[in-house]
Amino acid sequence: AQTVTQSQPEMSVQEAETVTLSCTYDTSESDYYLFWYKQPPSRQMILVIRQEAYKQQNATENRFSVNFQKAAKSFSLKISDSQLGDAAMYFCAFSVYNAGNMLTFGGGTRLMVKP
């Protein structure tokens, strides 16, 4: 079984600054995917970024990037130039390759952005 841990229940960042959200996971699998999802107050789950475990290069999507450390089983999300619209719950998720696309989620980190 896989577990995903987000050790920061809440984080805050000043608008235009950079913030990093932490995520660790535990698995015996070697091929898998990692995700960050954003959940704003509307409750919609929005995919932010995805990382394939076999890729050494860290994924980047505009202001969002990850630091994937496979040996350490760590997958942090960096948000640069934070905007008020980034305020949301952020969930880290894990999925085993070729095993049905089922996601295991962490407990979430609430990000507050201060103007």
Q: Among residues 13, 25, 35, 87, which is the contact residue for other proteins, using CB under 8 A?
A: 35
Q: Among residues 11, 45, 64, 73, which is the contact residue for other proteins, using CB under 8 A?
A: 45
**What are phi and psi for residue 85, nearest 5 degrees?**
-70, -5
Q: Which is nearer to other proteins, 19 or 89 (CB)?
A: 89
Tell me the site size for other proteins, rule CB under 8 A: 24
Q: Does 68 bind other proteins (CB under 8 A)?
A: no
Q: Does 58 bind other proteins (CB under 8 A)?
A: no
For residue 101, the minimal CB distance to other proteins (Å) is 5
Site for other proteins in 76-95 (CB under 8 A): 91, 95
